[in-house]
Structure 1
Amino acid sequence: MTTRPVAMVLHGGAGVLAKKSYDREIDHMRSLAERGKAMLNEGATALDVVEAIVYELEISGHYVAGKGSSPNTDNRYELDAAIMDGDTRNAGAVAAMEGFISPIHAARKVMESTPHVMLAGWGANRLAEREGLEAVDDPDSYYTPAAVPDGRAYATGTVGCVALDCEGRLAAATSTGGTLKKTPGRVGDCPLIGAGTWADQDVAISCTGQGEFFIRALAAGTVAARIRYLHESPDEAARWALKDVKRLGGDGGIIAVGRDGRIAAPYNSQGMKCAVLHADGRITAGVQDLS
Structure 2
Amino acid sequence: MSRFALILHGGAGARRSRDYAAEIVHMREVVEAMRPQLADGAAALDVAVEAVERLEASGLYVAGRGASPNTAGIYELDAALMDGATGRAGAVAALVGFRSPVRAARAVMDRTPHVLLAGEGAARFAEGAGLAPVGDPEAWFTRAGQGEDNHPPGVTAGALQHGTVGCCVLDRDGRLAAATSTGGVFGKLPGRVGDTPLVAAGTWADGRVAVSCTGQGEFFIRTAAAARLGFEVESGRPLGEAARGVINRIGAMGGDGGLIALDRDGNRADPFNSQGMKRAWLSADGEVSVRVFEG
- Whether these two folds match at TM > 0.5 is yes
Give the distance between the partners of 2:159 and 2:241, measured in 1 at CA: 29
Structure 2: stretches of 5+ with no match in the other structure: 150-156
Contact 1:41–1:166 at 8 Å: present in 2 too? yes
- Give the CA deviation at 1:233: 2.1
Q: State the match for 1:171 in structure 2.
A: 177
Q: State the match for 1:53 in structure 2.
A: 51
1:92 is paired with a residue whose SS is strand
Which of 172, 178, 189 is the aligned partner of 1:183?
189
Q: State the match for 2:146 in structure 1.
A: 148
Deviation digits for residues 151-175 of structure 1 (CA, Å, limit 9, x no counterpart): 1530000000000000000000000
Contact 1:81–1:176 at 8 Å: present in 2 too? yes
- Matched to 1:217, the amino acid is T
Query: Does the alignment pair 1:225 with 2:219?
Result: no
Normalized against structure 1, the TM-score is what?
Answer: 0.97
Q: State the match for 2:120 in structure 1.
A: 122
2:145 is paired with a residue whose SS is coil
Q: State the match for 2:243 in structure 1.
A: 238
Contact 1:233–1:262 at 8 Å: present in 2 too? no
Contact 1:30–1:275 at 8 Å: present in 2 too? yes
Q: How does 1:36-75 map to 2 (within 5 A)?
A: 36-75=34-73
Which of 21, 24, 34 is the aligned partner of 1:23?
21
Which of 269, 283, 289 is the aligned partner of 2:288?
283
Contact 2:159–2:188 at 8 Å: present in 1 too? no
Query: Does the alignment pair 1:214 with 2:212?
Result: no
Contact 2:63–2:77 at 8 Å: present in 1 too? yes
Give the distance between the partners of 2:52 and 2:238, measured in 1 at CA: 25
- Give the CA deviation at 1:35: 1.2
Contact 2:209–2:230 at 8 Å: present in 1 too? yes
Contact 2:11–2:165 at 8 Å: present in 1 too? yes
Q: State the match for 1:249 in structure 2.
A: 254
Give the distance between the partners of 1:94 and 1:235, measured in 2 at CA: 29
Give the distance between the partners of 1:248 and 1:39, measured in 2 at CA: 40
Give the distance between the partners of 1:135 and 1:233, measured in 2 at CA: 43
Give the distance between the partners of 1:37 and 1:245, measured in 2 at CA: 33
Structure 1: stretches of 5+ with no match in the other structure: none
Give the distance between the partners of 2:112 and 2:172, measured in 1 at CA: 28
Contact 2:37–2:47 at 8 Å: present in 1 too? yes
Q: State the match for 2:208 in structure 1.
A: 202
Q: How does 1:130-141 map to 2 (within 5 A)?
A: 130-141=128-139
Which of 162, 165, 169 is the aligned partner of 2:168?
162
Give the distance between the partners of 1:193 and 1:265, measured in 2 at CA: 19
Contact 2:158–2:186 at 8 Å: present in 1 too? no
Give the distance between the partners of 1:234 and 1:77, measured in 2 at CA: 35
Identity %: 55
- Matched to 1:35, the amino acid is A
Give the distance between the partners of 1:44 and 1:178, measured in 2 at CA: 30
- Which ranges of 4 or more aligned residues in structure 1 deviate by more than 4 Å? none
Instruction: Kindly tell me the number of residue pairs found equivalent between the two proteins.
Output: 287
